[in-house]
Amino acid sequence: MADKNTKETMKLLVDLVSIPSPSGNTNEVISYVEKYLAELKVETKRNRKGGLIATIEGQDSSQHRMLTAHVDTLGAMVKEIKSNGRLKIDLIGGFKYNSIEGEYCQIETSSGKKITGTILMHQTSVHVYKDAGKAERNQENMEIRLDEKVHNAEDIRALGIEVGDFVSFDPRVEVTPSGFIKSRHLDDKASVAILLQLIKQIKNENIQLPYTTHFLISNNEEIGYGGNSNITPETVEYLAVDMGAIGDGQTTDEYTVSICVKDASGPYHYGLRKNLVRLAEENNIEYKLDIYPFYGSDASAAIRSGHDIVHGLIGPGIDSSHAFERTHESSIVNTAKLLFHYVQSNLVL
């Protein structure tokens, strides 16, 4: 059975995935995190990009450590108001149209009004369209059917919908009795929930951290530049906590913590990786070393933007990423344990 920390993390995760937060429209979820941390009396500040930084003073304030996880998710934007009373969309983040076919969604107008709909192929009805199964799933063929009586573009505009309105996808979150959690957006809200629970544990148990530690809840990772700023000059180590990628040839699974050794950006810092492995072994944490072929993280974005830091990447294994995601609570437990020991460990340099 899951321990108290894991239960709280799972609950937090359900709350987080239920708040719409496509990259570019993350204010509501950041406010949720801000409130959570304020209740724990943790000092936070927002950066101009809209991310949130929480800082906990350590014994040594001359050298810092930074951890990050991102709250932004995949989503879409209204691209065109069509004359047939449907909406054409433009995708936010890297994913395929087939992974959102049939998905319930919500459009947020600029005045804050929420209107629901369903993402469908134009040629969905098999009683009408011969090529319903074969037609390409792409921007041209897919559209939003609004749950409103609309017949043309004027009807849609009368609802207040305009080009540029954000579209978020139904999270469809479910925790099963067997310990799985299914939802869109486990990437990377699973890691955000783990970090928030870790901060809570540090505060509640009065844990003295060896170094001043920053927790950056970034809000632009899916579009490439979430965590590449607000890194203090004292920061030595920068650890991104983000999903582990599962698939053919991958070692990552839904039960362990994945330690990334290399992704599309190149190898992560060798010394930090070895430290993470040592911490896992010393504390009986189940882990996998892995390479993610089509992947970049906030840590690699930070390196690319010119920061002289030691960078690493770990996270829970997420199946069917950027689509119908799932992980198991054991992956959450192993990731949380590794982070708990990591924040109390010595720096690599």
Q: Pick from 318, 2, 16, 36: which is nearest to 198 by CA?
A: 36
* CB nearer Zn ion, residue 223 or residue 348: 223
Beta strands in the chain (DSSP E): 43-46, 52-56, 60-70, 75-81, 87-92, 104-108, 114-121, 142-146, 166-169, 174-175, 180-182, 211-218, 235-241, 244-245, 257-263, 266-267, 287-291, 310-318, 326-328
Q: How far is the CB of 300 from Zn ion (least distance, A)?
A: 12
Q: Pick from 168, 217, 260: which is nearest to 30 by CA?
A: 217
Interface residues for Zn ion in 219-278 (CB under 5 A)?
A: 242
When asked if residue 187 is in the footprint of Zn ion (CB under 5 A), the reply is yes
CA distance 269 to 339: 17
Q: Contact at 8 Å (CB) between 132 and 123?
A: yes
Contacting range for Zn ion; rule: CB under 5 A; set: 52-60, 79-87, 184-192, 288-296: 184-192
Catalytic residues: 221
Number of residues that bind Zn ion (CB under 5 A): 3
The correct pick among 108, 143, 165, 188 for binding Zn ion (CB under 5 A) is: 188
Q: How far is the CB of 80 from Zn ion (least distance, A)?
A: 28
Q: Contact at 8 Å (CB) between 49 and 229?
A: yes
Two tokens, residue 33: 């995190």
Q: How far is the CB of 191 from Zn ion (least distance, A)?
A: 8
* CB nearer Zn ion, residue 187 or residue 237: 187
CA distance 274 to 268: 11
* CB nearer Zn ion, residue 160 or residue 224: 224
Q: How far is the CB of 128 from Zn ion (least distance, A)?
A: 39
* CB nearer Zn ion, residue 237 or residue 298: 298
CA distance 305 to 48: 17
* CB nearer Zn ion, residue 108 or residue 188: 188
Q: How far is the CB of 150 from Zn ion (least distance, A)?
A: 35
Sorted by sequence, the CB contacts under 8 Å of residue 205 that are 6+ apart come out as none
Residue nearest Zn ion, CB atom distance: 188
- Residues of this chain that interact with Zn ion (CB under 5 A) are 187-188, 242
